[in-house]
Amino acid sequence: MVELRSYVAGRWVGAGASPQTLLNPATEEPLARAGSEGVDLAAALHHARSVGGPALRALSFAERGALLKAMADSMQAQRDELIALGIANGGNTRSDAKFDVDGAIGTLLAYVETAAALGERRFLVDGEGIQLGRSARFHGQHIAVPRHGVAVHINAFNFPAWGFAEKAAVALLAGMPVLSKPATSSAMVAFRVVERLVEKNTLPEGALSFLAGSPRDLVSLLGAQDVLAFTGSGSTGERIRTSPNIVRESVRVNVEADSLNAAVLGPDLAARSDMYELFLKDVVRDMTQKAGQKCTAIRRILVPAEILSSVRDDLKELLATITVGNPADEDVRMGPVATADQRADVHQGVDALQGKIVFGSLEKRNKGFFISPILVESPGDVVHEREVFGPVASLLPYQEDPAAIVARGKGGLVCSIYSDDQAFIEETALGVAPFHGRIFLGHPKIELSPGPGTVLPQLVHGGPGRAGGGEELGGPRGLSFYMQRVALEGARPVIQKLLG
């Protein structure tokens, strides 16, 4: 069995005496063990702050970009191995695993471009200079400089490669050292990524630390210059955010949590139109890709009441083509969910929805954490409250104003709209906008449309309310979380010299 070690303070630390066992979710075969018992967390943070931070801050954005390029190259070189690990440890189909690994590499490369655009500076110049007095001499300018702490990244189980890379890329480019902690159940992919980066000396000493296993009291050790970016459930996010030291020291925290993403079908579409087919395709992809374990997956499907039954029939027909099974088998289109706990949570969630299951069932298999895709109709109001993190979505008919129904989800990552009616698009998009981080306007002419479920590094990811209130990525916008914005106020020539 593989031992997942932690890489802290410049050395590897073993899994300790009471590690957690990681399984293959399709076969329940034990694959690896991980534990953080032997890790001195305070020393790990100190090393990152005192060695990794100065090393990164000495580099320009362009030089940090070269590090990201080397990380992307390293992952590209081990791509096949990572995909195989995603299949074995994550229950991913080959296509799911590629989505994770290629998403990671693509995000790193997108930030290589951001780095090139920022050039040889070590800090950001934020906006134009401002004349503050009657004469041009009294001048103001905002800049942003890297914080002097550690960027602690706590990730969810569903995207072990992408989750690691999307956070690490932005923090390292901003000039902050990273301590990355993957969710334990699916940590094999992230461990191998980091193991190779360390083997090849890809990053300066102290720039990247890795914690395998329980976070223990990591959060309580963070201070005022540290930042914490968390992705996971709303309940863990709440616990982290309210830790006394986080509150007392104003530790900057970004939370990416649950989301009841909605897809809205406009009232204007004829069945079998290209837009209607795109809508069906996106819904089915989101329900089944990664067995529905995507934070951005469509959970609520809003359709005009008069065509509800035909949408239901069309979705059922498409869902019936999805083969569920061991993703090691190439014909399988959907694997199991990640853990036994996750399956139990999905079962409870479907019960809680109190709707009619019009496709799929909660039947268990003898081995493996399998669930069929499940389409629910006539759910209770809880459909706007509870995220069922699996291959589950609910059909909701609307008569008018779908935006008001979508808003009942109290904050989401993405809402998708499928319509050819410009007035409907505008009213719905602007109606749902205050409740979302992103709005996806489906269009059949967009070539290779990734659908609403794909997070793009150029655009912000996050959402208000239930979604955690956070924001990540968005090209250079993402850097600001890791940097301190400061206003320079003084004589213009002095400030201009300082800016170089």
For ligand NAP, the binding residues (CB under 6 A) are 154-158, 181, 183-185, 214-215, 219, 231-233, 236, 239-240, 256-259, 295, 387, 389, 413, 467-468
What residues pair up with 7 in beta bridges, in sequence order?
Answer: 12, 210
Residue 234, number of CB atoms within 10 A of its CB: 16
C-alpha 203/C-alpha 200 separation (Å) is 9
Q: What is the DSSP string of 394-447?
A: EEEEESS-HHHHHHTTSSEEEEEEE-S-HHHHHHHHHHHGGGEEEEEE--TTST
Query: Least distance (Å) from ligand NAP to the CB of residue 138?
Result: 44
**Closer to ligand NAP by Cβ: residue 158 or 419:** 158
C-alpha 379/C-alpha 360 separation (Å) is 15
C-alpha 376/C-alpha 389 separation (Å) is 14
Intra-chain end-to-end CA distance of the chain, in Å:
55
CB 336 within 8 A of CB 300: no
CB 296 within 8 A of CB 414: yes
**Closer to ligand NAP by Cβ: residue 215 or 267:** 215
Query: Least distance (Å) from ligand NAP to the CB of residue 136?
Result: 45
**253 closest CA partner among 213, 219, 221:** 219
**Closer to ligand NAP by Cβ: residue 147 or 181:** 181
CB 296 within 8 A of CB 306: no
Query: Least distance (Å) from ligand NAP to the CB of residue 200?
Result: 25
**Closer to ligand NAP by Cβ: residue 158 or 202:** 158
Burial class of residue 132, CB neighbours in 10 A (0-12, 13-18, 19+): middle
Angle between helices 160-174 and 188-199 (to 10 degrees): 40
Query: Residue 63 corresponds to which amino acid?
Result: E
**Closer to ligand NAP by Cβ: residue 143 or 251:** 251
Helices and strands (H and E) in the chain: how many: 15, 22
Query: Least distance (Å) from ligand NAP to the CB of residue 226?
Result: 14
**Closer to ligand NAP by Cβ: residue 293 or 326:** 293
Query: Residue 454 corresponds to which amino acid?
Result: T
What residues pair up with 491 in beta bridges, in sequence order?
Answer: 138
As annotated, the active-site residues are 256, 295
**Closer to ligand NAP by Cβ: residue 139 or 153:** 153
Query: Least distance (Å) from ligand NAP to the CB of residue 162?
Result: 9
Q: Residue 210: enclosing H or E segment and its boundaries?
A: strand 208-210
Q: Which residue is nearest to ligand NAP (CB)?
A: 232
Q: What are phi and psi of 156, to 5 degrees?
A: -85, 170
Please report how many Cα atoms fall inside a 13 Å half-sphere around the Cα of residue 207, on the Cβ side: 26
**Closer to ligand NAP by Cβ: residue 232 or 266:** 232
CB 72 within 8 A of CB 193: no
DSSP structural state of residue 22: E
Query: Least distance (Å) from ligand NAP to the CB of residue 460?
Result: 11
Q: Residue 140: enclosing H or E segment and its boundaries?
A: strand 138-146
Residue 68, number of CB atoms within 10 A of its CB: 26
Query: Least distance (Å) from ligand NAP to the CB of residue 304?
Result: 28
